[in-house]
Structures are given as structure tokens and as C-alpha cells.
Amino acid sequence: MIVEKIPKPPNPGGLEQLVLIAILRLGDKAYGVTIQTQIEERTCRPVATAAIYITLDRLAKKGYISSELGEPTPERGGRAKKYFKITALGEKALRDSLSLIAKMVGDLRPGLEGILGQ
Amino acid sequence: MGNSDTATVKVDAISKMGHILLLGAAFVFLVAMVVLAPVLILSTCLLWLLERKRVPDEKKLWHDGRSVQVLNKSGCPCHIVDRLSISPAHLRTLLHKSAQERRSMRLQRIDGGLYVNMNPPAGTIDALLNPLLPAISRDCFYGDLVEMHNTKILPKFISERGPLMGYFAAERWFRKQIFRSVLQLVWYRVQTLLFTEAAWQPPQFKK
């Protein structure tokens, strides 16, 4: 059986995908708190702040996101925000990863309805 | 007595000396254990009791959204200020004075609102976090936690449990977050040390 080689750099994992999608959704307002809130609100699951930072660190090392320091605000105790943006490489990796899942699901969607409870 | 007999006597003497020394060491060790163990246990209990009796920092300060109350070390109010009448400069002076007195004072008045400025935990926890997060990320990480504390957790807890208990609960939430984060970051660093990037690659299919 000939299988297409796995593209490099590696596809983002579960939380990495969620963080990338959250950054895409938030646009210019993507920083730690908003990313965490976005994921928690949409998935209805609590996510630890450290887990978000670990994932962001991993994504930055892979070159999927870039960051820049923002303005300090009083409710943060005068600390600056760190805004994140998705890079072209990150967009490609996310697209590849999601298309892989879509390919795997394929025509199984009617069968998955029971599992997903839809 | 020949030379060999003298040597045997010497060896016996050395052996006896060794036994005596060994027994002496064992005796000293036993005495030390018998004497020191209760002392250690008692001093630990005493320290624990003193620590419990000590008024924690949280009890020295509380606010209900209207007034700021600073309590002295015995828990009695020493300053009560109305946040509607106090000037920012006055409050700053008061907090600065209080901060000098007690090291940690975490209240700020900005734009007519009160914010609790949680300082990064000093000492061990911060020392643990230092190698785990780069300086800029660490500052932003603390900023995120403080922002969440001030904008979400504190108002929620105060509305649910009242001003005093809400403040304490929010403080506990903050400490818990820091502790959990340290554990998670340590685990992340261990993972990155143990497994290289290549080890995380999914298995390649062969032709």
C-alpha cells in the first residue's frame, strides 16, 4: 500500500488546532486571556492558562505563530499583553491537518452522528 | 612469642577497636535518633501551629467595592477609607505605607475602580517559574492571570459569596492557578527533555 508521506513540519495536535483556530477567530485581539476564553466558551471545557502558554510556546517554536508585545493595562497590574498572529506556515499546517481529518471522516458522517450525539 | 603471634595480637586488637568504634557509632546514632526525633517532630508541630495562628496577609486587607479596610497584624482595622471620597494620591500614599509595613499590598485604584494587583508569588514558586518560562512570557502569563482574577473571578466570587469570602476565594483561586501552572510547566519541560521532536512524529507507513 502506498501512503502519502506525512508532511513536514508535523501537523498540529488537538489543543494546538484549537489554539490556532481561536487565534484566527480573534484576529488582532488574540492574547492569552482571549484565546483561553474563546476555547472555553466554544468547547464548554475548562482549559488551564499554563496549557495555553505551553501550546503557544510549542506553536511558536514550530513557526506557526508570531507574537508582539501590546500595551499594559491597569486590570493586568500594569503588565503588557502578548498578541499572537498565525503565520502562513501555521495557516497551511492547520489547513492540512483539518483536511486530513475531513478525509478520514469522509462519508462516515452519517455513522458518526450516533457517536457525536447529533 | 614469635612474629606471627605478635601480628595476630595486633590484628585482634584492631578488630576489637573496630567493633568498639562501630558499637560507639551505633550508640551515638541511636541516642541522636531518640533525642533528635522528638525535638524535630515537636519543633515542626510548633512551627505549624505558629503558622496557623499567624494572621495571614489576606486577612489584613479587604474591600467591598466601596471601602478599603486595612487591618493591622492583630486583625483590627487601622485604616478605613471610602473609595468614593479618597483621592488616588491619598490611597497611593496609604497603600505605599502599608506595603512598606507588610511587604504585600495588592490594591490599586484606577479610573474610579478598584483592582487587586496580585503580585507574582515571591520565593520558591517564582524561583521555580523562572527557568520554566522566558521573562517576557512570564510577565504576560502573570498579567493574564491577574486580568482573569480582576475581571472574571473576583467579581464572580464577590457576587456569590460576599466581599470578604469572595476576596479570599479569588485569592485562593490565584494561588491554585500558579501552583497548577508550575506543575504543568515542569511536566512539559520533562516531556521536552525526554522526548525529542522526532520521537513525537507519527509512525511512517512503509511501501
Residue A55 distance to chain B (closest CA, Å)? 10
User: How large a percentage of chain B has pLDDT more than 70?
Assistant: 44
For the cut 90, the answer to whether the pLDDT of residue B162 exceeds it is no
For the cut 50, the answer to whether the pLDDT of residue B45 exceeds it is yes
Per the CB < 8 Å rule, is B144 touching A54?
Answer: no
The answer to which of B130-134, B142-146, B156-160 has the lowest mean pLDDT is: B130-134
For the cut 60, the answer to whether the pLDDT of residue B118 exceeds it is no
The full set of domain ranges for chain A reads 14-89
B27-39 pLDDT, tens digit each: 888 888 888 888 8
pTM (predicted TM-score): 0.56
* Mean pLDDT, rounded, of chain B: 64
Stated as kind and residue range, the H or E segment containing B61 is strand B61-63
A15: buried, middle or exposed (CB in 10 Å: 19+, 13-18, 0-12)? middle
For the cut 60, the answer to whether the pLDDT of residue B91 exceeds it is no
Give the ipTM of the model, two decimals please: 0.76
**3-state SS class at B104:** coil
Per the CB < 8 Å rule, is B147 touching A48?
Answer: no
- A107-111, B19-23, B137-141, range with greatest mean pLDDT: B19-23
Do the Cβ atoms of B149 and B173 come closer than 8 Å? yes
Per the CB < 8 Å rule, is B145 touching A49?
Answer: yes
Separation CA B50–CA B44 (nearest Å): 10
B121 contacts in A (CB within 8 Å)? Answer: none
Q: Is B170 on the interface with A (CB under 8 A)?
A: no
Half-sphere exposure of A46 (CA within 13 A, CB side): 3
Confidence at A81, pLDDT banded by 50, 70, 90: confident
Pairs of residues, one from chain A and one from chain B, whose beta carbons lie less than 8 Å apart: 90
Do the Cβ atoms of A66 and A28 come closer than 8 Å? no
Q: Is B101 on the interface with A (CB under 8 A)?
A: no
For domain A14-89, the question of CATH label 1.10.10.10 is answered with: yes
**3-state SS class at B157:** helix
A5-45 pLDDT, tens digit each: 544 555 566 888 899 999 999 988 899 899 999 999 888 88
For the cut 80, the answer to whether the pLDDT of residue A106 exceeds it is no
B10-19 pLDDT, tens digit each: 777 777 888 8
B205 contacts in A (CB within 8 Å)? Answer: 1, 3
Residue A23: predicted pLDDT: 93
Q: What is the mean pLDDT of residues B60-82?
A: 44
Per the CB < 8 Å rule, is A76 touching B146?
Answer: yes
**Please, which residues 31-90 of chain A have a Cβ atom closer than 8 Å to chain B?**
31-33, 36, 48-51, 53-54, 57, 69, 72-82
Residue A35: predicted pLDDT: 93
The full set of domain ranges for chain B reads 1-54, 57-109, 118-207
Residue A116 backbone class (left: φ over 0; alpha: ψ -120 to 50; beta: rest): alpha
Task: Pick the residue from chain A with its C-alpha nearest to B154.
Answer: A75
B138: buried, middle or exposed (CB in 10 Å: 19+, 13-18, 0-12)? middle
Q: What is the mean pLDDT of residues A70-81?
A: 77
